[in-house]
Amino acid sequence: MDDSNSFVVVANRLPVDMTVHPDGSYSISPSPGGLVTGLSPVLEQHRGCWVGWPGTVDVAPEPFRTDTGVLLHPVVLTASDYEGFYEGFSNATLWPLFHDLIVTPVYNTDWWHAFREVNLKFAEAVSQVAAHGATVWVQDYQLLLVPGILRQMRPDLKIGFFLHIPFPSPDLFRQLPWREEIVRGMLGADLVGFHLVQNAENFLALTQQVAGTAGSHVGQPDTLQVSGEALVREISAHVETADGRRVSVGAFPISIDVEMFGEASKSAVLDLLKTLDEPETVFLGVDRLDYTKGILQRLLAFEELLESGALEADRAVLLQVATPSRERIDHYRVSRSQVEEAVGRINGRFGRMGRPVVHYLHRSLSKNDLQVLYTAADVMLVTPFKDGMNLVAKEFVANHRDGTGALVLSEFAGAATELTGAYLCNPFDVESIKRQMVAAVHDLKHNPESAATRMKTNSEQVYTHDVNVWASSFLDCLAQSGENS
Ligand code: ADP
Ligand code: F6P
């Protein structure tokens, strides 16, 4: 068996999205999202194996190795898996529930069955490729049941689970009709990791509550024992399961490969600024087009600042790049049309011929193009209602190591616990976003030393806690976990 098979990552998505052409050939493009950004460099370093969905329906290519040495094992999803497991249970049930009900989750038993079946499919694929005693790292909310299934199929494996999105308070999680099975699935791992201590505490509190529930199906009632407290990058919290296993729980804030987000080429930045007509202030937003990201709210804040004269249309522009995401789901469609309507309205009100005030792209850009945008931007706007971490904030900060620029950041993004030099806003309150946008612009102009100190505090944090720190702290804790109590 290939050496890659002693370190296996399993995630819903592979790092590449495949498109099948009529002649049966495939083309590939990078797949969206922070999970892929975080894990790709880790897999490249370990020359590991990545089991996941290639973005196609009903077909998938044979396993192959990428140019960077990662062995990819595609898992085939059918059209009905895609609807029930991906669009349904993962993204219309778990996603809104775990993001504190920004929209109402749908509880649908058919979707739940699809979720169970597809989790079984992923676990079987891992079970077939993983070497004896391999380390298997299961990723994110789409695969919550995989640790438990794998534990039964392959007790020889060392299993880690990491959640890339927030974990909600027990009061919200308990809405889920299938809550016991999900907790039991997660507890199949030797180590369960979250971004934040708060997420880990929510999980521990939930475990305690579910364990105490009469008639619970999680082990036997009162047989789960929780001890210790959730810490960052080390383990003191444990859950003892009915079968005598000890599951470790901790917080491991994800980060980025800082090498990839240094400053962009000067000439490319100058060209862009010239195209934009040399504005005094460039605001920037870069997101998946997701209703959790608060894109509409930041557009409204920009519009109101133009309206009040706090910003001048001749001097400020907002660049908004939005990657298409989950486009068939209702709330995503609504969110896109609200964003696009606002862009049209704001340009109609404040733009001139050849000089829009909002430049909007609904597509993915290359890392190079993103870097040019990050370098050209004065103020980055990251305003999610709720976000596990938000790597865009860290990418911008890494790009401004020289202390230029300012970051306006939602207090509900995981990154807010680490990027203490950001201008923190409450995205539910447009006045708060406006205040922090104005404060950032004011400091850049009139208080540059203070603005630079803030940005250097942010970039120091990211450079000293990059993606290698994230992965190695998780994997070291995983190596030490899982001993019987
Ligand atoms: P999420 O995982 O919810 O999408 P993150 O901010 O954590 O949010 O990660 C998003 C990742 O996707 C980042 O690495 C960012 O660079 C990348 N990204 C976001 N928008 C685009 C885009 N339009 N083009 C290319 N990459 C993008
Ligand atoms: O971390 C958030 C996340 O949902 C990942 O799990 C996912 O791969 C990424 O964003 C992009 O979402 P999707 O895979 O649904 O396009």
Residue 258 per-residue DSSP state: G
Nearest CA to ligand 1 atom 9: 34
Atom of ligand 1 minimally distant from the CA of 392: 6
Q: What does each of the 485 residues of the chain score in pLDDT, given as a tens digit?
A: 566 799 999 999 999 999 989 888 889 899 989 999 999 999 999 889 999 999 999 999 999 999 888 999 999 999 999 999 999 999 999 999 999 999 999 999 999 999 999 999 999 999 999 999 999 999 999 999 999 999 999 999 999 999 999 999 999 999 999 999 999 999 999 999 999 999 999 999 999 887 655 444 444 445 789 999 999 999 999 999 988 999 999 999 999 999 998 889 999 999 999 999 999 999 999 999 999 999 999 999 999 999 999 999 999 999 999 999 999 999 999 999 999 999 999 999 999 999 999 999 999 999 999 999 999 999 999 999 999 999 999 999 999 999 999 999 999 999 999 999 999 999 999 999 999 999 999 999 999 999 999 999 999 999 999 999 999 999 999 999 976 55
Residue 255 per-residue DSSP state: -
State how far the Cα of 468 lies from the Cα of 233, in Å rounded to an integer. Answer: 12
Whether 93 and 191 map to the same domain: the answer is yes
32 CA → ligand 2 middle, Å: 7
Nearest CA to ligand 1 atom 17: 33
15 CA → ligand 2 middle, Å: 11
Residue with tokens 């907002």: 318
Query: Residue 32's pLDDT is what?
Result: 86
Q: At what angle do helices 295-308 and 430-446 cross, to 10 degrees?
A: 60
- Amino acid identity of residue 300, one-letter, is L
Whether 246 and 388 map to the same domain: the answer is no
Whether 163 and 280 map to the same domain: the answer is no
Atom of ligand 2 minimally distant from the CA of 36: 8
Whether 49 and 61 map to the same domain: the answer is yes
User: Does 10 map to a domain?
Assistant: yes
Which CATH number belongs to the domain containing residue 96 in this structure?
Answer: 3.40.50.2000
Whether 201 and 330 map to the same domain: the answer is no
User: Does 357 map to a domain?
Assistant: yes
Whether 202 and 124 map to the same domain: the answer is yes
User: Does 258 map to a domain?
Assistant: no
Phi-psi category of 215—alpha, beta or left, where left has phi over 0 and alpha has psi -120 to 50?
A: left
User: Does 360 map to a domain?
Assistant: yes
**Does residue 364 have its Cβ closer than 6 Å to ligand 1?**
yes
| Nearest-10 Cα torsion for 330, 332, 338, 342 | -160
Atom of ligand 2 minimally distant from the CA of 86: 15
Nearest CA to ligand 1 atom 15: 392
Whether 229 and 327 map to the same domain: the answer is no
Whether 226 and 81 map to the same domain: the answer is yes
Residue with tokens 């380390």: 135
Nearest CA to ligand 2 atom 12: 33
Query: Residue 211's pLDDT is what?
Result: 63
Whether 272 and 153 map to the same domain: the answer is no
User: Does 130 map to a domain?
Assistant: yes
User: Does 274 map to a domain?
Assistant: yes
Nearest CA to ligand 1 atom 27: 364
458 CA → ligand 2 middle, Å: 25
Contact 228, 238 (CB under 8 A): yes
User: Does 441 map to a domain?
Assistant: yes
State how far the Cα of 362 lies from the Cα of 341, in Å rounded to an integer. Answer: 13
Whether 273 and 198 map to the same domain: the answer is no
**Does residue 135 have its Cβ closer than 6 Å to ligand 1?**
no
Whether 147 and 248 map to the same domain: the answer is yes
User: Does 259 map to a domain?
Assistant: no
Atom of ligand 2 minimally distant from the CA of 325: 16
**Does residue 390 have its Cβ closer than 6 Å to ligand 2?**
no
Q: Show the domain range for 99.
A: 3-253+467-478
Query: Residue 210's pLDDT is what?
Result: 76
Atom of ligand 1 minimally distant from the CA of 382: 6
Nearest CA to ligand 1 atom 20: 287
Nearest CA to ligand 2 atom 3: 33
**pTM, entire model:** 0.96
Whether 271 and 167 map to the same domain: the answer is no
List, in sequence order, every residue forming a beta bridge with 194; answer none if it has no partner.
251
| Number of domains the chain is built from | 2
Query: Residue 375's pLDDT is what?
Result: 97
**Does residue 43 have its Cβ closer than 6 Å to ligand 1?**
no
What is each CA distance from 202 to 173, 226, 461, 473, in whole angstroms? 9, 12, 25, 21
Ordered DSSP codes for 200-237: HHHHHHHHHHHHTSTT--SSSTT--EEES---BSS--E
